[in-house]
């Protein structure tokens, strides 16, 4: 789940969604795997209690959307090499385009983004480590 503020213009831009290595492994283990992204846009209001000086916050959900990661368009998914095996990000979590694709097509898309960032040699090393390919 990703929650973003309604009144912050850059909120929802390129949030980290999941690890490339983790999600690729999950889809290999189970091609019917579903990774749901729940996007909530919210506003926060606060009131100060006069007697105690404590603030009471209220969060109002003003919009929501649900996406299956596998169906986000290629232009909406990006790969950020930071952290571990890198993170998949969504360009703008509030405005995405969906594309029907198979699990195999999705994995090819993810691999292409990884290889573009880190190179084919790095991909082969990770693929061997995670047993995505067998070293004969």
Average pLDDT score, the chain? 86
How many whole angstroms separate alpha carbon 71 and alpha carbon 54? 44
How many whole angstroms separate alpha carbon 32 and alpha carbon 101? 12
Q: What global pTM score does this model have?
A: 0.78
The larger pLDDT score, comparing residue 95 to residue 27, is at 27
Domains of the chain: 2-129 (3.40.600.10)
Checking if the pLDDT of 76 tops 70, the result is yes
Quote the pLDDT of residue 2.
47
Element (H or E) spanning 17, and its range?
Answer: strand 16-19
Quote the pLDDT of residue 59.
81
Average pLDDT score over residue span 59-80: 91
Are 99 and 73 in contact by the 8 Å Cβ rule? The answer is yes
């Amino acid at each position: 789940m990703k929650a973003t503020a309604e009144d912050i213009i850059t909120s929802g831009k390129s949030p980290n969604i999941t690890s490339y290595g983790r999600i690729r492994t999950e889809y290999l283990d189970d091609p019917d795997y579903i990774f749901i992204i729940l996007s909530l846009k919210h506003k926060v209001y606060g009131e100060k209690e006069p007697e105690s000086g404590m603030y009471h916050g209220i969060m109002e959900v003003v919009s929501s959307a649900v996406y299956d990661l596998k169906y986000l368009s290629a232009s909406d998914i990006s790969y950020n090499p930071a952290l571990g095996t890198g993170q998949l990000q969504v360009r703008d979590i509030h405005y995405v385009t969906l594309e029907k694709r198979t699990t195999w097509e999705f994995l090819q898309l993810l691999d292409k983004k990884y290889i573009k960032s880190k190179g084919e040699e790095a991909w082969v090393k990770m693929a061997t480590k995670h047993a995505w390919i067998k070293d004969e």
